[in-house]
Amino acid sequence: MAEQEAPRGTQASGQIGEVFGLVKEYARQETVGPLRGAARWLAFGTAGSVMLASGTVFVVLGVLRLLQNEFASTFSGRWMGLVPYLIAFVLTVAVIGLAASRIGKTSLHKD
């Protein structure tokens, strides 16, 4: 006996459903995967920048306090108020410049 074929309408709707499922899976693969990677990239970048900023603040405040307490006799008169702050400012600019020079990743894709 010969196999019975499914009605033509049922076969076409099955193919359409399969195509729809493949397109849906492809769209999920191409959007959800990169979005997860971008979220991870942003999370690590944010955590790193917060830690770098807080560390810089503590180091600069420590250097400022050191200059004000230990070298108070060196910076007498008007200079006592200005020089330690200028040194702390230069240190801050140097750390910002170093951090900016290390930024090199231009893409989220792994090459």
Q: What is the DSSP string of 2-58?
A: PPPPPPHHHHHHHHHHHHHHHHHHHHHHHHHHHHHHHHHHHHHHHHHHHHHHHHHHH
Look at 59 and 26; give whichever has higher pLDDT. 59
What tens digit of pLDDT does each residue of 58-111 get?
Answer: 999 999 999 888 887 777 777 667 888 899 999 999 988 988 888 776 665 665
pLDDT at 90: 94
CA 85 to chain centre: 31
Work out the percent of the chain whose per-residue pLDDT is above 90.
Answer: 20
Q: What pLDDT sits at residue 68?
A: 83
* Largest interatomic CA distance in the chain: 112
Alpha-carbon gap, residue 33 to 109, rounded angstroms: 11
